[in-house]
Structure 1
Amino acid sequence: MSLIQLQPHPFTSIPAHPSFSTDLSRPELHHYISTALHEALELLHSVPSTFTTDPKLRPSPPSQAKVKLLRGWRKPSEPRASIKGRVKDKSEFWVCRQSEHVDASSTGTASWREFEAGLRSEHAEHEMEYTPSVSAVQRLLEWAVEDIGEIEVDGIRFRDASMEVNLITHTFHPSALIAPRSFISLTISAAYNNFPPQPSQTLEEHRQGFLTVQIPLHPEASSTPQALHQRIYASVPKRAIFANYASIERVELIPATHFADQHSVEQQYRSQSRIEWTMATTSDAGGSIPQWVQRSWALGGVPRAVVADVGLFIGWTMRRRQGA
């Protein structure tokens, strides 16, 4: 069964943690993270050939970069059992966005260090700062970084890997009409650096970057440790609906290309280092919101929301820079 899928996983399916009772059937931590990173790389590799690209780039002010939007349907690797045991074999609707930003601490863009500080460190907490709907983030579990170590996946050596579980709540207005949504997200983040390049490959093929994977979990009492179950339900707002999403986020630094002469606009642009930001997600808000509404750009669904996130992050980064 895929780890990266919309159907949430039970807490019994994740690696052991000091707060859990001993259970030898749980997956080994290193293997679990390796599997998630492999699935993430595989999905990102498949996007260009399996997703449909929107005909026009989308603006996301105050970001100077335009956003490429792609959409596609994807089936999990195996039929999935639902929480109540019924088998589901349903395709998932995925949205992917890609944007390329000049590596600079200037208006409308951000530097590599700012991307790292904002999207890799304290990912969920920072998301709450720049996303208006995120009203609460609570860290439920965290694994020690030293227990993970370096991981090699598909020829890429990942370092500084981390794993945590967060309870994330979104609230909307008017709150009397739209119930809050709470998500339980297992988040894996890891950095990589493919330098120095091999003689047979170009400089641009050897980028440094980081990957963040979010996997949905569900809080069913039968599969959630009792103390954790009580903590979750004590933390969510009244009327909250548990919803789900899975996502993959990759941020890479593209080295500057050096030209003997810089005559064209494209050459001038490529003579600067750039940051390529890719994010793919599938989600279900639950409740009575129809799936076709959630998929709609015109009705403010997921495609519009993921494009808006680019401008929200860049705007937040610019404000942080001014306040530093």
Structure 2
Amino acid sequence: MSSAVKLTIAQELRPDELPSDEHVIAAAREVLEATKGWKKGNAYEKKTVQTYSRQKGPGDGAPWHCRVSEHPPAEATFDEFWSKLGHSHAEHEKEYIEVVKKATLVKKVSATQEIWTMYYEFPSFGVSSRVFTILVVTHYDESSSPREGLSVSIPVDLSSDPELAKLEEKGVKGRYVSVGSIKELPNGNTEWRMATSSSPGGRIPTFIVESTMPRTISADVPQFLRWLQTIKPANGPLPTL
């Protein structure tokens, strides 16, 4: 186990050298706290999703972007958010993010750590398919008040383990790291905060990727909420945790 973690796409994890939950969550909290001081950007989705950004720093492989949105219980409760973003996170992304076509579980490391390979297709942009292989770490403390759940994705390189590598999708290899937070607010609403740094790989110009990131990550919010409505029972909310 590694004793320290830097959340970055500059260096991928190896499946035999995965960090502990403690160190991943500590690094995730540092990123989330730092987002509060990042440069404020545009608001999207009828001004309901605010974006922020930070330039590439030492040890980073790319700049960082963040989005923050607040949701009343009538839209989605904390339990409903966490039931889909804190459990089978990668698999659920396939359901509400259109360009994610496959999500394959490579290895269940523990109750809170899983390695997934994600296959993206971008037919409307005319670019090759992309593959992102990640370690997903989730954390939820029932005793915390206000309640908060964290989901962290870190890029993984499977080349050192041929058996696991066989499960990886084929395509241009990209990398992303992300930190997601679902948090109860004093007013009864739920805050969804997500920070990410990424590179799609291949020859897509960096300026195109970076200029479109705020709008791209903001669109995930209404897409998730629309999908959530389609799976809610007709007579009430989703089951609580």
Give the TM-score of the pair, scaled to structure 2: 0.88
1:264-320 CA-to-partner distances (Å, cap 9, x unmatched) read xxxxxxxxx100110000000111111100011xxxx22111100001001111111
Gaps of 5+ in 1: 16-26, 80-89, 146-161, 196-205, 257-272
Match of 1:166 in 2: 116
- Partners of 1:294 and 1:181 in 2: how far apart? 14
Q: Is the 8 A contact 1:73 1:91 kept in 2?
A: no
Give the letter for the 2:117 counterpart: L
Give the letter for the 2:57 counterpart: K
- Partners of 2:221 and 2:214 in 1: how far apart? 12
Counterpart pick for 1:292 among 201, 207, 210:
207
Quickly say closer, same or farther: Cα 1:70–1:183, change in 2 above 3 A.
same
Q: Is the 8 A contact 1:3 1:215 kept in 2?
A: no
Q: Is the 8 A contact 2:180 2:195 kept in 1?
A: yes
Counterpart pick for 2:163 among 215, 218, 227:
227
- Partners of 1:230 and 1:317 in 2: how far apart? 33
Match of 1:263 in 2: none
1:265-284 mapped onto 2 (5 Å cutoff): 273-284=188-199
- Partners of 1:91 and 1:178 in 2: how far apart? 22
**Runs of at least 4 residues off by over 3 Å:** none
Gaps of 5+ in 2: 236-241
Give the letter for the 1:179 counterpart: S
Question: 3-state SS of the aligned residue for 1:231?
Answer: coil
Larger Rg: 1
1:149-173 CA-to-partner distances (Å, cap 9, x unmatched) read xxxxxxxxxxxxx000000000111
Q: Is the 8 A contact 2:13 2:154 kept in 1?
A: no
Q: Is the 8 A contact 2:8 2:61 kept in 1?
A: no
Question: 3-state SS of the aligned residue for 1:214?
Answer: strand
Q: Is the 8 A contact 2:109 2:115 kept in 1?
A: no
Q: Is the 8 A contact 2:153 2:179 kept in 1?
A: yes
Quickly say closer, same or farther: Cα 1:311–1:113, change in 2 above 3 A.
same
Give the letter for the 1:218 counterpart: D
User: How far did residue 210 of structure 1 move?
Assistant: 0.2
Q: Is the 8 A contact 2:9 2:177 kept in 1?
A: yes
Give the letter for the 1:95 counterpart: H
Question: 3-state SS of the aligned residue for 1:171?
Answer: strand
- Partners of 1:174 and 1:211 in 2: how far apart? 32
Quickly say closer, same or farther: Cα 1:226–1:13, change in 2 above 3 A.
closer
Counterpart pick for 2:222 among 311, 314, 319:
311
Question: 3-state SS of the aligned residue for 2:216?
Answer: helix
Match of 1:186 in 2: 135
Give the TM-score of the pair, scaled to structure 1: 0.67
User: How far did residue 8 of structure 1 move?
Assistant: 3.7
Structure with more relative contact order (C-alpha pairs < 8 Å, separation 6 or more) = 2
In the alignment of these two chains, the number of paired residues is 232
1:1-324 mapped onto 2 (5 Å cutoff): 2-11=5-14, 14-15=17-18, 32-49=20-37, 51-54=38-41, 56-59=42-45, 66-76=48-58, 79=59, 92-104=62-74, 109-145=75-111, 162-174=112-124, 177-193=126-142, 195=144, 206-220=145-159, 224-232=160-168, 235-236=169-170, 240-256=171-187, 273-296=188-211, 301-321=212-232
Quickly say closer, same or farther: Cα 1:10–1:194, change in 2 above 3 A.
closer
User: How far did residue 11 of structure 1 move?
Assistant: 1.7
- Partners of 1:192 and 1:10 in 2: how far apart? 26
Q: Is the 8 A contact 2:114 2:137 kept in 1?
A: yes
- Partners of 1:34 and 1:10 in 2: how far apart? 16
